Chains A and B, each alone.
Chain A
Amino acid sequence: MTARSGSWIGRVVGPVLIVIWTAVPLLWLVALSLKAGDHITDGRFWPSAPTLDNYGTVFGTDLFTSALRNSIGISLLATALSVVLATLAAYAIARLDFPGKKVILSVALAIAMFPTISLVGPLFDIWRTVGLYDTWFGLVIPYLSFTLPLSIWTLSAFFREIPWEMEQAAQVDGATPWQAFRKVIVPLAAPGVFTAAILTFFFAWNDFVFGISLTSTGRARTVPAALAFFTGASQFEQPTAAIAAAAVVVTIPVVAIVLVFQRRIVAGLTSGAVKG
């Protein structure tokens, strides 16, 4: 009897607690973004007079719109480059047997765990000299160096599971090498590549350290950095609700990606660490 009621608690109360845990801060952000004027500081959770004004303010602010453009552009660019390069590298690691394979994977992991801030000083100095400071590529390059290792790590775990004999089997059946690659290997590898792409995108979208250190204007400043320097519509207005609105806007892509690709993300996060 106790065992059954115990598992009932585990099955119902547990999940509910998890949902509350993740939802409360998010709902709070949405609630805050709908408040205006005095209601912002009324100490309540829900807005008593919801308004969409803050979203208007945010989209009418150059600082935010340019940052949003930069964030989207830089994140997509970094993701595309990183995934292409990582696919090639992981393909080599998975298919070829060469000495130092383990070393490459270990180095990759070591770089991923690197304290980002340690690179900021020197990069700041170098970028100013070579003219990459405050440019898209000034951010894309460090993003690449941090996401490539992770992507290689994830992808090589995925690629090891692919039955490569199928490629030969297709060729025996009369497929050209290109056909064999495109019709057999690509569909098998696509989920892994996709997972790596999502994780890379999250990294670039989330980055703050490089964003504030290697940019100074709307030319390349990304959303997280812009949020931290956001001052609101006028100097005398608290930007609280506007920041909340901006925060909600940049969270929407994350929510969408999570909703659609949750299984891929979970597979990607755990592939390198625990499962073979």
Chain B
Amino acid sequence: MVGVTAYPLARAVWLSLYSYRITDPAGREFVGLRNYGVVLSDRLWWSDVLTTVVITVVTVAVELVVGFAFASVMHRIVFGRRLIRTSILLPYGIITVVSAFAWRYAFALDTGFVNHWFGLGDFAWFGHRWSALFVISLAEIWKTTPFMSLLLLAGLAQVPRELLEAAEVDGATRTQRLFRVTLPNMKAAIMVALLFRTLDAYRIFDNVFVMTSGAQATETVSFLAYRQTITRTALGLGSAVSVLLFASVVLIAILFVKGFGVDLARARGER
């Protein structure tokens, strides 16, 4: 398993130092860090980074709130536990491409019902950058909130009941109990959920591919890497993008672990 991840990654680093197109193997030449220079000085790269960051921040933030609401509902539920669990798991299990098509057709001008329902006339959702990103984010949120809410539910279960009851007896309001007792006690679970989802959201690809294929400046970093490597067969340049993407993911992980003190082993009960 390290072989299939570490070796290709090492090869990506190596390839990124060459100017290399598959269609022109003979023209391969060593260019040092020039590919990185090309990528980093290109406005497209920065526009893609911005798109990816916006999608990541928006979806993870919304998912945290919605996911927490879902988790609270599931935590308290008495009847219909099975039904709720089933419906929560469906978006998680469904193929991302399938969900992307469902959302695309729902918002599309010709096949969609959204514009009719909300009286939006012929507003072209995929014709503008921010409205397209809105739909992409919505689909991402729909698909991945269940995962978030299940992690949060497990965290909720760890909050000691006695603490909540003691707080209630002492006259703490609902809001006070939520912010002073519940949330601090499930901090570890929240952090783990945030870390997982942030890393996952940052590599968003499927939704973008199906809905806009990167049109209207909705291209994400993953999509750029794909387009350079596979569509344009510019392996050198594509590898540079891949390595940069990998580096930013590592950076996010380090930020979480060092900055917020997420200790995965400890969150898991292993000391």
Q: Are A251 and B150 in contact (CB under 8 A)?
A: no
With A125-B22, A276-B270 known as contacts, the answer to whether A266 contacts B189 (CB < 8 A) is no
User: How far is A28 from B142 in the complex, measured between Cα atoms in Å?
Assistant: 14
User: How far is A128 from B229 in the complex, measured between Cα atoms in Å?
Assistant: 14
Report B-chain residues with C-beta under 8 Å of the C-beta of A157. Answer: 268
Q: Are A113 and B196 in contact (CB under 8 A)?
A: yes
With A21-B142, A118-B243, A119-B9 known as contacts, the answer to whether A28 contacts B154 (CB < 8 A) is no
B97's partner among A123, A228, A255 (CB-CB below 8 A) is A228
Q: Beta-carbon contacts of B102-133 to A below 8 Å, as 1s and 0s?
A: 11011000111101110000000000000000
With A145-B4, A227-B98 known as contacts, the answer to whether A258 contacts B268 (CB < 8 A) is no
Most chain B CB within 10 A, of A120, A149, A272, is at A120
Which of B253-269 touch A at CB < 8 Å?
253, 264-265, 267-269
Q: Are A124 and B268 in contact (CB under 8 A)?
A: no
Q: Are B86 and A258 in contact (CB under 8 A)?
A: yes
* Count of inter-chain pairs, beta carbons less than 8 A: 269
Complex interface: stretch among A9-17, A57-65, A178-186: A9-17
A26's partner among B88, B90, B105 (CB-CB below 8 A) is B90
Q: Beta-carbon contacts of B155-194 to A below 8 Å, as 1s and 0s?
A: 1001000000000000000100000000000001100110
Taking the complex as formed, is B26 at the interface, i.e. its CB lies under 8 A from any CB of chain A? no
Which of B141-159 touch A at CB < 8 Å?
142, 146-147, 150-151, 153-155, 158
Complex interface: stretch among A163-171, A189-197, A206-214: A206-214
B202's partner among A43, A107, A115 (CB-CB below 8 A) is A115
Report A-chain residues with C-beta under 8 Å of the C-beta of B251. Answer: none
Taking the complex as formed, is B89 at the interface, i.e. its CB lies under 8 A from any CB of chain A? yes
User: How far is A265 from B85 in the complex, measured between Cα atoms in Å?
Assistant: 10
Q: Are A121 and B15 in contact (CB under 8 A)?
A: yes
Give chain B's interface secondary structure class.
helix
Most chain B CB within 10 A, of A43, A110, A257, is at A43
User: How far is A83 from B72 in the complex, measured between Cα atoms in Å?
Assistant: 33
Q: Are B222 and A208 in contact (CB under 8 A)?
A: no
Q: What total of chain A residues lie within 8 Å of the partner, measured CB to CB?
A: 86
Q: Are B151 and A120 in contact (CB under 8 A)?
A: no
Q: Beta-carbon contacts of B203-226 to A below 8 Å, as 1s and 0s?
A: 101100110000000000010011
Q: Are A29 and B84 in contact (CB under 8 A)?
A: no
Taking the complex as formed, is A99 at the interface, i.e. its CB lies under 8 A from any CB of chain B? no
Give chain A's interface secondary structure class.
helix
Q: Are A118 and B9 in contact (CB under 8 A)?
A: yes
User: How far is A28 from B117 in the complex, measured between Cα atoms in Å?
Assistant: 13
Taking the complex as formed, is B56 at the interface, i.e. its CB lies under 8 A from any CB of chain A? no
Chain B residue with the shortest CB-CB distance to A32: B105
Q: What total of chain B residues lie within 8 Å of the partner, measured CB to CB?
A: 95
Report A-chain residues with C-beta under 8 Å of the C-beta of B253. Answer: 110, 113
Q: Are B84 and A15 in contact (CB under 8 A)?
A: yes
With A11-B76, A269-B150, A273-B267 known as contacts, the answer to whether A122 contacts B8 (CB < 8 A) is yes
Chain A residue with the shortest CB-CB distance to B110: A41
Q: Are A118 and B225 in contact (CB under 8 A)?
A: yes
Taking the complex as formed, is A116 at the interface, i.e. its CB lies under 8 A from any CB of chain B? yes
Q: Beta-carbon contacts of B243-257 to A below 8 Å, as 1s and 0s?
A: 101100100010000
User: How far is A196 from B8 in the complex, measured between Cα atoms in Å?
Assistant: 26
User: How far is A144 from B239 in the complex, measured between Cα atoms in Å?
Assistant: 22
User: How far is A228 from B3 in the complex, measured between Cα atoms in Å?
Assistant: 30
Taking the complex as formed, is A205 at the interface, i.e. its CB lies under 8 A from any CB of chain B? yes
User: How far is A262 from B92 in the complex, measured between Cα atoms in Å?
Assistant: 11
Taking the complex as formed, is A23 at the interface, i.e. its CB lies under 8 A from any CB of chain B? yes
Report B-chain residues with C-beta under 8 Å of the C-beta of A18. Answer: 70, 73-74, 84, 87-88
Q: Are B22 and A228 in contact (CB under 8 A)?
A: no
A142 nearest CB across to chain B (Å): 6
Report A-chain residues with C-beta under 8 Å of the C-beta of B238. Answer: 121
A113's partner among B80, B174, B226, B249 (CB-CB below 8 A) is B249
Give 18 pairs: A residue, B residue, CB < 8 Å, sorted on A: A10-B72, A18-B88, A19-B83, A25-B91, A28-B113, A117-B225, A126-B8, A208-B206, A224-B96, A224-B206, A227-B97, A227-B101, A244-B102, A244-B105, A255-B93, A265-B93, A269-B92, A273-B151
Apart from A18-B73, A118-B246, A247-B95: 20 A-B pairs, beta carbons within 8 A: A15-B73, A18-B70, A18-B84, A25-B99, A25-B142, A43-B113, A107-B2, A117-B203, A119-B12, A120-B242, A121-B239, A122-B8, A144-B1, A145-B4, A148-B1, A209-B206, A224-B98, A227-B97, A228-B210, A269-B147
By a beta-carbon cutoff of 8 Å, the part of chain A in contact with chain B is 6-7, 10-11, 14-15, 17-19, 21-23, 25-26, 28-29, 32, 40-41, 43-45, 102, 105-111, 113-126, 128, 141-142, 144-145, 148-149, 157, 202, 205-206, 208-209, 212-213, 223-224, 227-228, 238, 240, 243-244, 247, 250-251, 254-255, 257-259, 262-263, 265-266, 269-270, 272-276
